[in-house]
Amino acid sequence: MISSFNDLLRSAREQAQPQRLLFVFATAGLPDDATPEQRESFQAGQGGTLTPLMCVDKTPAELESFDTLCEESREFGQTWDLVFTAAISGSAGLEPTSAQAEAPLQRMVESIKSGGIAGFVAFDGAGQPVQIG
Protein backbone atom coordinates (compact mmCIF):
# COMPACT_ATOMS: atom_id res chain seq x y z
CA MET A 1 0.00 0.00 0.00
CA ILE A 2 1.42 3.35 -1.05
CA SER A 3 0.43 6.00 1.49
CA SER A 4 3.09 8.59 0.67
CA PHE A 5 5.65 9.46 -1.97
CA ASN A 6 8.34 8.13 0.36
CA ASP A 7 6.51 4.77 0.36
CA LEU A 8 6.69 4.78 -3.43
CA LEU A 9 10.44 5.45 -3.39
CA ARG A 10 11.05 2.84 -0.69
CA SER A 11 9.01 0.23 -2.55
CA ALA A 12 10.85 0.92 -5.82
CA ARG A 13 14.21 0.61 -4.06
CA GLU A 14 13.23 -2.70 -2.43
CA GLN A 15 12.20 -4.52 -5.61
CA ALA A 16 14.21 -7.56 -6.68
CA GLN A 17 14.94 -5.94 -10.07
CA PRO A 18 15.99 -2.30 -10.53
CA GLN A 19 13.13 0.05 -11.32
CA ARG A 20 12.61 3.16 -13.39
CA LEU A 21 9.84 5.45 -12.23
CA LEU A 22 7.58 7.17 -14.73
CA PHE A 23 5.94 10.51 -13.93
CA VAL A 24 3.25 12.40 -15.83
CA PHE A 25 2.35 15.84 -14.53
CA ALA A 26 -1.22 16.92 -15.28
CA THR A 27 -3.56 19.79 -14.70
CA ALA A 28 -7.22 19.41 -13.78
CA GLY A 29 -9.83 21.55 -15.49
CA LEU A 30 -13.12 21.81 -17.27
CA PRO A 31 -13.88 21.90 -20.97
CA ASP A 32 -15.00 25.28 -22.32
CA ASP A 33 -18.49 23.93 -22.91
CA ALA A 34 -18.97 22.61 -19.35
CA THR A 35 -22.50 22.87 -18.00
CA PRO A 36 -23.29 24.83 -14.83
CA GLU A 37 -23.78 21.48 -13.05
CA GLN A 38 -20.36 20.29 -14.19
CA ARG A 39 -18.79 23.54 -13.01
CA GLU A 40 -20.45 23.23 -9.62
CA SER A 41 -19.35 19.62 -9.29
CA PHE A 42 -15.77 20.55 -10.27
CA GLN A 43 -15.70 23.32 -7.66
CA ALA A 44 -16.74 20.68 -5.11
CA GLY A 45 -13.73 18.55 -6.10
CA GLN A 46 -15.41 16.11 -8.47
CA GLY A 47 -15.38 15.61 -12.21
CA GLY A 48 -13.41 17.60 -14.74
CA THR A 49 -10.69 16.68 -17.18
CA LEU A 50 -7.01 15.85 -16.85
CA THR A 51 -4.50 17.30 -19.28
CA PRO A 52 -0.95 15.90 -19.28
CA LEU A 53 1.58 18.74 -19.34
CA MET A 54 4.98 17.07 -19.11
CA CYS A 55 6.54 13.73 -18.30
CA VAL A 56 9.83 12.35 -17.08
CA ASP A 57 11.43 9.08 -16.04
CA LYS A 58 13.82 8.69 -13.11
CA THR A 59 15.56 5.93 -11.24
CA PRO A 60 14.78 5.81 -7.52
CA ALA A 61 18.41 6.79 -6.87
CA GLU A 62 17.88 10.03 -8.81
CA LEU A 63 15.17 11.17 -6.40
CA GLU A 64 15.75 11.99 -2.77
CA SER A 65 12.19 13.09 -2.10
CA PHE A 66 8.99 14.52 -3.50
CA ASP A 67 10.49 17.99 -3.04
CA THR A 68 13.31 17.05 -5.41
CA LEU A 69 10.79 16.05 -8.08
CA CYS A 70 8.79 19.26 -7.55
CA GLU A 71 11.88 21.45 -7.81
CA GLU A 72 12.79 19.86 -11.14
CA SER A 73 9.24 20.25 -12.44
CA ARG A 74 9.25 23.98 -11.65
CA GLU A 75 12.18 24.43 -14.04
CA PHE A 76 9.72 23.85 -16.90
CA GLY A 77 7.41 26.67 -15.83
CA GLN A 78 4.25 24.54 -15.86
CA THR A 79 1.73 24.66 -13.02
CA TRP A 80 0.37 21.18 -12.37
CA ASP A 81 -2.27 19.72 -10.06
CA LEU A 82 -1.43 16.01 -10.00
CA VAL A 83 1.50 13.80 -10.83
CA PHE A 84 0.73 10.25 -11.93
CA THR A 85 3.33 7.57 -11.30
CA ALA A 86 4.12 4.09 -12.53
CA ALA A 87 7.23 1.93 -12.67
CA ILE A 88 8.92 -0.41 -15.08
CA SER A 89 11.26 -3.19 -13.99
CA GLY A 90 14.66 -4.02 -15.30
CA SER A 91 15.93 -7.54 -15.78
CA ALA A 92 19.07 -9.49 -14.97
CA GLY A 93 19.97 -6.83 -12.42
CA LEU A 94 20.06 -4.02 -15.00
CA GLU A 95 17.85 -0.98 -14.61
CA PRO A 96 15.69 0.07 -17.55
CA THR A 97 17.12 2.93 -19.58
CA SER A 98 15.36 6.19 -20.43
CA ALA A 99 15.09 4.92 -24.00
CA GLN A 100 13.28 1.81 -22.75
CA ALA A 101 10.97 4.01 -20.68
CA GLU A 102 9.93 6.21 -23.60
CA ALA A 103 7.17 3.98 -25.03
CA PRO A 104 5.61 3.12 -21.64
CA LEU A 105 5.73 6.79 -20.70
CA GLN A 106 3.94 7.80 -23.90
CA ARG A 107 1.32 5.08 -23.32
CA MET A 108 0.84 6.50 -19.85
CA VAL A 109 0.28 10.01 -21.26
CA GLU A 110 -2.28 8.66 -23.74
CA SER A 111 -4.06 6.69 -21.00
CA ILE A 112 -4.38 9.79 -18.84
CA LYS A 113 -5.71 11.79 -21.81
CA SER A 114 -8.45 9.20 -22.28
CA GLY A 115 -9.24 8.95 -18.56
CA GLY A 116 -7.55 5.58 -18.03
CA ILE A 117 -5.84 6.28 -14.73
CA ALA A 118 -6.66 3.15 -12.72
CA GLY A 119 -3.18 1.64 -12.97
CA PHE A 120 -1.33 4.70 -11.71
CA VAL A 121 -0.65 6.20 -8.29
CA ALA A 122 -1.50 9.91 -8.21
CA PHE A 123 -0.06 12.52 -5.86
CA ASP A 124 -1.15 16.11 -5.29
CA GLY A 125 1.22 19.08 -5.14
CA ALA A 126 1.99 18.34 -1.49
CA GLY A 127 3.03 14.75 -2.22
CA GLN A 128 -0.10 13.20 -0.75
CA PRO A 129 -1.72 10.26 -2.56
CA VAL A 130 -4.98 11.13 -4.28
CA GLN A 131 -7.81 8.66 -4.78
CA ILE A 132 -9.60 9.42 -8.03
CA GLY A 133 -12.92 7.95 -9.03
| pLDDT tens, position by position, 45-59 | 788 889 999 999 999
What residues contact 31, with CB distance under 8 A and at least 6 apart?
A: 49
CB 34 within 8 A of CB 67: no
| Percent share of the chain, pLDDT over 70 | 99
> Is the pLDDT at 129 greater than 90, yes or no?
yes
- The stretch 110-132 carries a mean pLDDT of 91
The pLDDT assigned to 62 comes to: 94
Domain enclosing residue 107, as ranges: 5-130
Considering only CA atoms, which of 77, 101, 84, 76 is closest in space to residue 5? 84
Instruction: Give CA–CA dist 100/103, Å, rounded.
Output: 7
CB 21 within 8 A of CB 85: yes
CB 87 within 8 A of CB 22: yes
Q: Give residue-wise pLDDT tens across range 16-54.
A: 999 999 999 999 889 888 899 989 988 887 888 899 999
Structural domains in the chain (count): 1
The pLDDT assigned to 66 comes to: 94
b/e burial code for range 96-117 (CB count within 10 A of at least 16 → b): beeeebeebbeebbebbeeeeb
